[in-house]
A and B are shown apart, each in its own frame.
Chain A
Amino acid sequence: MSTPVPSSIDAALELLKGGDYIADRSLATVLYLALKLGRPLFCEGEAGVGKTEIAKVLAATLKRPLIRLQCYEGLDVNSAVYEWNYSRQMIEIRLAEAQGVHDRGQLAADIFDERFLIRRPLLEALSPHAEGAPILLIDELDRTDEPFEAYLLEVLSDFQVTVPELGTIKAAETPIVIITSNRTREIHDALKRRCFYHWVDYPDLKRELEILKVKAPGASERLSRQVVGFVQELRKLDLFKAPGVAESIDWATALSELNALDLDPRTINDTLGVLLKYQDDIQRLQGSEAAEILRKVKSDIAAQPLG
């Protein structure tokens, strides 16, 4: 059975925490509103800050099915909403001919029947589910083109889909919709207006430490503190791609796998590829700059030990 949606902002915060997602209060507020008022949640932010994770955690904690629509350029109705099963339809026509059915109207009604309809994610999300309203994750919406975005307007405002041969299919229960975007292009205002908007930012030092404690339990406290300090410093630099939370989790895990207890310039140089994904950035940091940052981080930690 599914868990009911949270009844307050604090409950929403707890819910996310229950799924190992350390959120700040702003996210919990928006999420609570989206759940309570049944409107989509639009998450925008840099890559690797945990946008997609929100939907996954929600599905796990609310015990609902997760339906994911991964967007890409040229995504069309056939792969996003529904498609007719043509080969089965052809066979049906042949069978009807063999049986001597000549009523064309009857034949049309027969082959454009729900039995021959292949449900794709959007239609699937509108169908009734035993566990309650599903969670529909529309991932990286910025990767599609504008026509698909325009199509989504109808789906997201009325939660209904029109199949010309069948008529309009309306959602039995409003699905919980989470939309993410990496901002590789600007999504149109009309779509955003139908959603609750949230910019998912990099976490602050304290929250990132908490996240590491949950997500990379193998790393010692001392190491985690240094990792977070280092990553936070990197984000202040003018890099082509600053490391996200996903990268710091990966890095902490990698370092603990290497049995590192303490950061030193050499280890950093060797593992920088986990953290930075562009050659220019890596080249720039390797050597003296990384050592310089590490020195600063260590002196910061010495100056004010946390907790």
Chain B
Amino acid sequence: MMDALPESSATPEHRSGMLANNIVHFARTLRTAGLRVGPGQVLRAIEAVEAAGLRKRDDFYWTLHSVFVNRRDQREIFDQAFHVYWRNPRLLEKMMEMLLPSVSVPADPDDKKQLSRRLQEALQPGRGEAPKEESEPPEVEVEATFTVSDREVLQHRDFEQMSQAEIDEALRAISRLRLPVPLRRTRRYQPARRGPRVDFRASLRRALRPEGLTELRKREPRKRPPPLVILCDISGSMARYTRMFLHFMHAITNDRDRVYCFTFGTRLSNVSRALRNRDVDIALQKASAQVEDWSGGTRIGQTLHEFNNKWSRRVLGQGAVVLLITDGLDREGAAGLAEEMERLHKSCSRLIWLNPLLRYGAYEPKSQGNKAMLPHVDEFRPVHNLDSLAGLIAALGMAPTGVGQGGADKRLSTWQTELRKE
């Protein structure tokens, strides 16, 4: 770093020291504001500022911008922080000092109040592990009933924390999960005894060993699951299932890579980052803080439009599969829904619709929303047992041509031809 500093006269060096200090403080400000800024970036910023010089405010702005900003959506925060900080660093510090205690005050009682259920269990070993005859009635009530009281909890955007037993069950269920989508062939190869292609490199190396050029090494294309995009309806009509779907999305996000989760009601929210948190309670808390339209109305057409325009090109690449979880009851009379569904269908490799209504045997696609959506799905799946994650996963994993009630609904093609005639 030393040679990057300007020539050794005392004043400029001193000045650059001041500047470095200021950049460090600025970086800390950005970090507080939520940007991911590490010490490496601070060093790089100092180096960059020394290289670019300080003649123009604009240049200084873009120099820091090029180091500290990594994504487009960080620009706004950076912009505001820059203008506040470099006008008067002191002012900002004072503001932060004033802010800090007020931030930590609500956090504290919060912690005490919401002592994690798992921690409570751990502190009182009798409760969590004890067989059912000993457990107290309230426990059982929470476990077993997905009824009105649960719905109210949802509207307060506050989810029941998961018990250790539930977590274990979720992990077990997710390990059993077989999505009804085949693995995708990638264009990479792996060694295989009876692969279709010759691996020349391995063969040549083999040939150099004492036994000589006796056999050809083979390779085959590697396979991996395609990216998964989950669009989950969280409107009022779906409210009783929301907690379970969120758990499902969290479990699957942490189980494999390339999973993107969105929720929609009256607006679309991308909760992928929140759900990536390993701890299920924190993840759900973050997600619920981010989403503003719990248990409200549904505007499927409009939210799908937003998804298509803003996100589809970013998450639907590489043969993605879309899992659409909704009952298809649209507040706005399915305006524009058919077009958006068509676009969505055409931009992903497979569109699976999971409809909780379908578990009632007498289901018919009567509502306008259902009519608009149905022609554009590849698969239509019922969920028979929505009380647990395991039930959902079992429903998802059933073979598409399942016998009896299981698997994809065979009535789909009948409905689709009927709807096309209309």
Contact = CB atoms under 8 A, between A and B. Distances in A.
A37 B317 contact: no
A193 B63 contact: no
B279 interface: no
Nearest to A26: B62
B318 interface: yes
B62 A185 contact: no
B317 A197 contact: no
A264 interface: no
Contact of A86 (B72, B204, B339): B204
Centre residue among A30, A44, A142 by max chain B CB count within 10 A: A30
B317 A184 contact: yes
Contact of B186 (A44, A73, A197): A73
Contact of A197 (B56, B69, B210): B69
A86 B314 contact: no
A76 B188 CA distance: 7
Given A238-B309, A240-B308, A280 B204 contact: no
Interface string B382-422: 00000000000000000000000000000000000000000
Interface in A170-185: 182-185
A25 interface: yes
Interface in B206-233: 207-208, 210, 213
Q: Name the interface size band of chain A.
A: 35 or more
Given A73-B186, A193-B41, A238-B309, A29 B204 contact: no
Interface string B39-53: 011001001100111
Interface string A23-41: 0011001101100110100
B309 A44 contact: no
A162 to B, nearest CB: 15
A93 interface: yes
A189 B186 contact: no
A186 B188 contact: no
A25 B62 contact: yes
Contacts of A199: 69, 72, 75
Nearest to A196: B66
A104 B205 CA distance: 11
A88 to B, nearest CB: 11
A111 B204 contact: yes
Given A44-B72, A74-B187, A33 B63 contact: yes
Contact of A29 (B47, B59, B213, B318): B59
B35 to A, nearest CB: 11
B343 interface: yes
Nearest to A83: B201
Given A29-B52, A199-B72, A37 B210 contact: no
Nearest to A192: B70
A26 B82 CA distance: 15
Interface string B184-195: 001110000000
Nearest to B49: A33
Contacts of B210: 104
B152 to A, nearest CB: 37
A271 to B, nearest CB: 24
Nearest to B339: A280
B66 A189 contact: no
Interface of B: 36, 38, 40-41, 44, 47-48, 51-53, 56, 58-59, 62-63, 65-67, 69-72, 75, 186-188, 200-201, 204, 207-208, 210, 213, 257, 308-309, 313-315, 317-318, 339, 343
